[in-house]
Structure 1
């Protein structure tokens, strides 16, 4: 049995009247009207009406279930149906795969399913046009990100996800046996990407990372996708500007190129105004004090504080110049040694990105490790590279899943991940 098709449905139109085409997809609906049956056939690119006539073809579709996969050889013709500008009159029909009912969810969304049921049947859920739109937007977002960074001279790299030590001193690592050794799943590419600036100068990575946090919120995952950059000879303000441009480019690109996806989701994506607000940690403390939230210098900002700041700075904004003691050992200090050359990109209370200027002096790094209660001996593989002529460098990590939640205006980050992993979900 042939399985190929000559056209995607989305490439067809009324101007092709009389042309023979072969299409394939799944049956969304079927209606029997006397000696005719009308199928609604969809593929990933679009939807068409199929007119079925003749005893052989009608016998093929008589007991056909919705969501079954068929291949149609037919002729494009004008349609009198209100919802279609053209239709295909079937010459032959091949049933390639029958859907067994009852299905676990209704992919048309006529019967609403909870997110857990939808995730349990995620492959079928992708036939729901609202769900499919999310991941078409995600594809286009990644397309834009890669082009933006490549055009700025960044090279895409891949760093290990199985590592031999708790590289950043983080406690929330998944551990595993690596033959006869102890290993961990990487929670970020931080140390590797810093080392890579030594020879490649500007690099980026888009990959999955892992954090063993038992967080039960709509914004946390144990496996998440991070976009990371690191750039030699750039200060933290330089990479902040790259991050801002990247976010603006993404919104502008999908606003212009993903019209049908926005329609499916019932949203309107608009390019954010730039420049984003830049609020120093000290300014944030002062602003919160005026709102009756008293904080001392060095206090971390909680969700309640960030929600209030989000009200004061709608949309995207940067929080900069954090106290050095609140940041990892590799972050560079400012002229005021109590402050760091660091920033977070916020959208309301939601932290999307964290970054800054990195230390490139190995003696300073060793001293900072000791200050933070970490053992420099555990970082010797990393520190060796700093004795080979490490350039000054800065970078950031951006959570793709959280960015997609903002872009699609969806609160739960699990909706924008194909197969999310959280403390309870390990399957499918």
Structure 2
């Protein structure tokens, strides 16, 4: 057997922890080789890790010949460990470098590489996704996912601090949440089952015992959209709250959005700089317009939409230009919304539903839910759905299920708004769409 290349070595520092003030101190760093250069009397390479990068410099007059031979043999993107001393050097990046006393190649990279992780040589999105490991070493790719992480953390912290309980609902279900047209069927022993479109029905039921609940989880939609805003598997942040109306949960969503933008701006300044993206924290109250008012604004801008139709991306972009930034659209036609959304008493053609948009991107949808069994059965039938398929859900409404409201927020679309990514696939580690089931 080959000896363990790691041996007794363990990382002592990340790249960004090596600063000029540590000059003369020994450190062990581990990461990937991104650049190698030979200037005759000196060889050096850049070592990248999750925190950043540092220059490893090997002057022929100061290092053993085997160190120089080792550098000659290293291929770009190989995983390596470096032991050496920090040295303050004005000409080095960040004013400091490592003079190596030992280098271990932990796993060599096969060349030629399918793409350039430094980003100096451009690659199309398909090439990048097909070699996702290398692509995710690109500074811009890492910046997107660090921002996505910060956004999720901000949402979770806000909700927990405001009394929400995190839940985890099934992703294999017996019947549709909304309509069978957008379900992925799967073989479940001798029966047919489906991948969940939404935690909607479960989170509604759980308001009857936990009052305020939230979940981060995948949702699956068998929709044949082939756009830069749509995927067939995405991450959704969902909440549901007992004894409130849509106005209350819109307030929660408004607070969440402001908190996310604020935390990302505070914590991810370096990542935003890498992406050349500036973000403005939305001001409260976020503008609210009705569906009818949105139609009027679009007509004034020369875009006529028939009542009862959904908005296209160009129409949403026009509304974003008119309103500027984030905005709510309230009181949607009932025919456009799922069966569980409550209709207006005075005008049943309208629903107590809302969408949150940011420029042209629809970020979230929500509303006040139906909590009366008889009304829910009627609305199921109106949508062409069989109440028998929902018998396990419907019986919960016989046991004092409270009035409740909630929403679902698309995390990848939120990440697009935060990072300026032009395609939602850039905001998913391994995206799934009609054409892509690998890697």
Q: Same fold (TM over 0.5)?
A: yes
Sort the Cα spacing of 1:296 and 1:61 in 2 relative to 1 into closer, same or farther, 3 A. closer
Partner of residue 434 from structure 2, selected from 416, 423, 426: 423
Q: Deviations over 1:166-197 (max 9, x none)?
A: 23233111001101001000011110110111
* Deviation at residue 270 of structure 1 after TM alignment: 2.1
| Match of residue 321 from structure 2 | 311
Give the match for residue 43 of structure 2: 37
For residues 11-41 of structure 1, the C-alpha deviation after alignment (integer angstroms, 9 at most, x for no partner) is 2211112211111111111222334321211
Identify if the C-alpha distance between structure 1 residues 73 and 272 changes in structure 2 by more than 3 Å, giving closer, same or farther.
Answer: same
Q: CA deviation at 1:295?
A: 4.5
Distance 2:382 2:224 in 1: 28
Return the alpha-carbon distance in structure 2 between the equivalents of residues 148 and 303 of structure 1.
30
Q: Which residue does the alignment assign to 1:410?
A: 421
Q: How does 1:212-291 map to 2 (within 5 A)?
A: 212-291=222-301
Alignment of 1:379-390 (within 5 A): 379-390=390-401
Q: CA separation of 1:95/1:48 partners in 2, compared to 1, >3 Å: closer, same or farther?
A: same
* Matched pairs, number: 428
| Structure 1, unpaired ranges of 5+ | none
Please name the residue that 2:33 is paired with: 27
Segments of 5+ residues of structure 2 without an aligned counterpart are 1-6
Alignment counterpart, residue 109 of structure 1, candidates 107, 119, 122: 119
Say if 2:368 is the partner of 1:357: yes
Q: Is residue 347 of structure 1 aligned with residue 358 of structure 2? A: yes
Change (3 A) 1:381 1:69: same
Report if the CA contact (8 A) 1:224-1:399 is conserved. Answer: yes
Correspondence for 2:23: 17
Q: Is the 8 A contact 1:167 1:379 kept in 2?
A: no
Spell out the pairing of 1:112-131 with structure 2 (5 A cutoff). 112-131=122-141
Number of the residue aligned with 1:178? 188
CA 303–69 in structure 1, closer or farther in 2 if over 3 Å, else same: closer
Seen in structure 2, the aligned counterparts of structure 1 residues 288 and 36 have a Cα distance that, compared at 3 Å, is closer
Counterpart contact for 1:216–1:423, Cα < 8 Å: yes
Give me the whole-angstrom Cα distance separating, in 2, the residues matched to 1:251 and 1:288. 28
Give secondary structure in 2 for the equivalent of 1:218.
coil
Shift, 1:324, TM fit: 2.2
Measured after TM superposition, the shift of residue 349 of structure 1 is 2.8
Aligned residue for 2:3? none
Give 3-state SS (helix, strand or coil) of 1:168's partner: coil
Does the 8 Å CA contact 1:279/1:320 hold for their aligned counterparts?
yes
1:90/1:98 CA distance change after superposition, 3 Å? same
Does the CA-based 8 Å contact 1:17-1:75 persist in structure 2? yes
Range that drifts further, 194-203 or 368-377: 368-377
Q: Is the 8 A contact 1:324 1:337 kept in 2?
A: no
What CA distance in whole angstroms lies between the structure 2 residues aligned with 1:58 and 1:242? 59
Q: CA deviation at 1:273?
A: 2.1
What is residue 169 of structure 1 aligned with on the other side?
Answer: 179
Structure 2 length-normalised TM: 0.94
Counterpart residue number, 2:57: 51
Q: Distance in 2 between matches of 1:214 and 1:294?
A: 26
| Residues in 1 aligned to 2:136 and 2:250: alpha-carbon distance in whole angstroms | 35
